[in-house]
Amino acid sequence: MELNLKQKAAYGIGAVGKDMVYALSASYVMYYYQDILGLSATFVGLILMAARIFDALNDPFMGILVARTNTRFGRFRPWLFSGTVLNAVVLYALFAAPHTKGSSLMIYFAVVYILWGMTYTMMDIPYWSMIPAVTRTPAERESLSVVGRTCAGVGSALITMLTMLLVGLFGGTSERKGFQMVALMVAVIFVISELLCCLFFKEKSKSANKTATIREMFSALFHNDQAMIVVASIVLINCALYLTANFIIYFFKYDFGGEGWKTSYTLFSTVGGGMQILGMMVLYPLLRKKLSNTQVFITSLIAALSGYGLLLLLCLLGFAGNLALLCIPGAIVFACNGMLTVLTTLFLSGSVDYGELKTGRREESVIFSMQTFVVKAASGVSVFLTGIGLDLIGLAGNTDETGPIAVQSAQTILGLRLMMTILPVLLLAAAFILFSRKFRLTDEKMAEIARVLHHE
């Protein structure tokens, strides 16, 4: 039975709240703990990397637990809601750090951030695993993937556009208090959105799949070469995005500068967030009418690379203080990212069918646990690189909220400009090479796989 509008809307609402939480953590943890609380940027990055190593072991096991779950509420919804409530509490704790310094603050951050990753896994894996579990045709799966990723983009864009504005509104001159209140607001929205998703998005079957041994599940996962190509592409693309998100706030505070830097940052982020949504909801459907999904993916990568090149050129030519010009490459990069996020989810869903045809088992929870892991891994790697980069260029944080914004050297500013453009370019170029050479699940191939599976 085809999904109705109410179910699709419920699924989309869940994505909005879920990605508001993720975007807040991925984009502002470094800034909050380094620039506001005064921890070493390298230490913050190191903790995020350590958390990702832990996730490498935790996430696939979570996928297995979901696959083996059998309750009267279904396989996915019990984990989705319980994980949401726990993660909302931990999110607030992450941005409500106690007034302590040194080793005590370092321990607090390490423990709370690892707990955040664990609880986010509990709800994220079942959320995305529902796509291939409740849909069977490529067209229906594409439709639900677009809904999920578009609404996720809305949630992420809302955080991008409004966070610093709300921090100033709630906290006044105290960014610390502002972030605490923003985190509380996002946590409440998160719980409400996932509750609506659980109530109105019904699973088609309440029975669990036939369980396999852990060895069999991991074998099915790592023998799915196309899933691995998509996973690697997600890592590279998301690393580029999160590097931009982490560096751009420092760019506006210390390079663009001025008393109104938060307003300029908010305006730039609003343009970027709006273009990300436009990319998902308008540009992707338009291009999809003329091009295959793989062609849209390649086109988006090339355009994003061009956007970063233009941004670097503007900075080197002395236009770093011109907001109108900076918004042009920003709009290009964010619009392309919107299309890429829709497509990577769609390709990962397709790899579930590919894996079923190849191995005889349908491992949507295990394969989608990889998406949860790699998206978090991408944010961890990007923040780690950001932390090392900030320390290497000698950027001095602004922990004294009552004092003027710290002045950075010319060498620090140049290093900041290069890192926020060159590093993402290298990552996107690697994604382009990998995808164009190794990915084989074209539209025609997916239609053929669907016919075989339905016939069987």
The upper half-sphere exposure of residue 167, i.e. CA atoms within 13 Å in the direction of its Cβ, equals 23
Position with higher pLDDT, 89 vs 376:
89
pLDDT band for 207, please (50, 70, 90 cuts). very low
pLDDT tens digits, residue range 159-193? 988 999 999 899 988 899 999 999 999 999 999 99
Q: Which single residue is written with the structure tokens 């949630």?
A: 155
Q: How far apart are alpha carbons 133 and 364 in whole angstroms?
A: 7
Give yes or no for a contact between 390 and 266, defined as CB atoms under 8 angstroms apart: no
pLDDT tens digits, residue range 324-374? 999 999 999 999 998 998 898 888 888 888 888 887 777 766 676 666 667
Domains and CATH numbers, the chain: 5-201+213-455 (1.20.1250.20)
Give yes or no for a contact between 242 and 427, defined as CB atoms under 8 angstroms apart: no
pLDDT band for 209, please (50, 70, 90 cuts). very low
Q: How far apart are alpha carbons 34 and 44 in whole angstroms?
A: 7
Task: Compute how many other C-beta atoms are within 10 angstroms of the C-beta atom of residue 440.
Answer: 10
Q: Tell me what the pLDDT averaged over the chain comes to.
A: 86
The upper half-sphere exposure of residue 30, i.e. CA atoms within 13 Å in the direction of its Cβ, equals 31
Give yes or no for a contact between 378 and 234, defined as CB atoms under 8 angstroms apart: yes
Q: How far apart are alpha carbons 399 and 174 in whole angstroms?
A: 10
pLDDT at 423 (0 to 100): 94
For 244, residues 6+ apart whose C-beta sits below 8 A from its C-beta are 333, 420, 424
pLDDT at 455 (0 to 100): 66
Question: Is it the case that residue 291 has pLDDT exceeding 50?
Answer: yes
Mean pLDDT computed over 386-398: 86
Question: Is it the case that residue 208 has pLDDT exceeding 50?
Answer: no
Give yes or no for a contact between 431 and 301, defined as CB atoms under 8 angstroms apart: yes
pLDDT at 303 (0 to 100): 97
Percent of the chain with pLDDT strictly greater than 70: 90
pLDDT at 119 (0 to 100): 93
Give yes or no for a contact between 286 and 344, defined as CB atoms under 8 angstroms apart: no
pLDDT tens digits, residue range 138-148? 667 767 877 88
C-alpha distances out from residue 332 to 64, 147, 261, Å: 39, 22, 22
pLDDT band for 399, please (50, 70, 90 cuts). low
pLDDT tens digits, residue range 32-66? 999 999 999 999 999 988 887 787 667 767 777 87
Position with higher pLDDT, 228 vs 434:
434
Mean pLDDT computed over 425-449: 92
Hey, what are 36's tokens? 């506001």
Position with higher pLDDT, 149 vs 319:
319
pLDDT tens digits, residue range 94-132? 999 999 989 999 999 999 999 998 899 899 888 887 876
Question: Is it the case that residue 256 has pLDDT exceeding 80?
Answer: yes
Question: Is it the case that residue 449 has pLDDT exceeding 90?
Answer: no
Sign of CA dihedral 53, 54, 55, 56: positive
Question: Is it the case that residue 385 has pLDDT exceeding 60?
Answer: yes
Poorest-pLDDT segment among 19-33, 57-71, 382-396: 57-71
pLDDT at 211 (0 to 100): 47
Q: What are phi and psi of 211, to 5 degrees?
A: -75, 150
* pTM for the predicted model, two decimal places: 0.81
Position with higher pLDDT, 46 vs 135:
46
> Residue 69: which of 175, 204, 275, 207 has the closest Cα?
207
> Residue 394: which of 422, 379, 414, 380 has the closest Cα?
414
* One-letter identity of residue 288: R
pLDDT at 109 (0 to 100): 97
